[in-house]
Amino acid sequence: MKTVLITGAGKRLGRQLAEYWLAQGWRVVAHYNSVNELAPQPGLITLQADLSELNDVRRLCDELASYGPYDGVIHNASCFVADAQAQQQGVSLARQAEQHFAVHVYAPMMITEALTGLWCEQAWMTVITDIYSDLPNERFAVYCASKAALQNWALSMAQRLSPQVRTNVVQPGPIQFLPEHSQAYREMVLSQSLIKQELGYQAITEACAYLAGSQSVCGSVLRVDGGRLVANRYDQTFSD
């Protein structure tokens, strides 16, 4: 039975990724932070860790050795707090940056290092970043910076781990709205997309499945954003 490790697999996108690979007959080692919505089932192993806490990451790394070797890894775990929101909550800039970089950079680095010697032949690793890695947004400066660092590290791993492990990046755009997103916000975001529809988590699952099965793809960045990055912004800026 093939084995895949998925971080941030307890809810939303991570849960769907885990359910997809379980349906393919894989054993899934599913990391989660505080919420685990995955139903117990054969082939599923769940491991809890707060990736913003160094000791938790170290414990997780030790536990991963028991479930190798690994055919695939998806670094999906994410931390997302707008700069103004953090300030309103009394979180210092230093602490906000520490949390984002811990989850997006330090944890993937440590986990991947812990998998040394635990990779199968022709393994793969997919790292989920964001279109903001290449398109900064001043409202989410800390988040964008940490995702950009994650992407840069991932492409370095494509060099270091090949040919045994193919490493690629998936850049999601406006894929799945959350319940707190207003209708006006949804319409505004979709107006900046070429496809102009909510794609859903399935779009990212399909991208990850494609990269997992494409033996010739390595060191690539696959943008899954409905064309938002290249949308014509001029007609949204000028009235005439």
pLDDT 10s digits, 73-125: 999 999 988 889 999 999 999 999 999 999 999 999 999 999 999 999 999 99
Q: pLDDT per residue over 124-179, tens digit each?
A: 999 999 998 998 889 999 999 999 999 999 999 999 999 999 999 999 987 666 66
The answer to whether 104 touches 150, Cβ cutoff 8 Å, is: yes
Q: What is the pLDDT of residue 50?
A: 98
Query: By percentage, how much of the chain surpasses pLDDT 90?
Result: 77
pLDDT at 221 over 50: yes
Q: What is the pLDDT of residue 14?
A: 97
Domain of residue 218 covers 3-237
Position with higher pLDDT, 30 vs 185: 30
Which amino acid is it at 130? D
Q: What is the pLDDT of residue 210?
A: 98
- The DSSP secondary structure of 120-179, one letter per residue, reads EEEEEEEEE--GGGTS--GGGHHHHHHHHHHHHHHHHHHHHHTTTEEEEEEEE-S----T
Exposure of 122 in the CB half-sphere (CA atoms within 13 A): 7
Count of structural domains within the chain = 1
Q: What is the pLDDT of residue 240?
A: 41
CATH number of 92's domain: 3.40.50.720
Which stretch of 22-26, 91-95, 193-197 has the lowest confidence by average pLDDT?
193-197
**If you average pLDDT over every residue of the chain, what do you get?**
91
pLDDT at 239 over 50: no
Query: By percentage, how much of the chain surpasses pLDDT 70?
Result: 91
Average pLDDT in the 222-240 region? 68
Q: Give CA–CA dist 224/170, Å, rounded.
A: 7
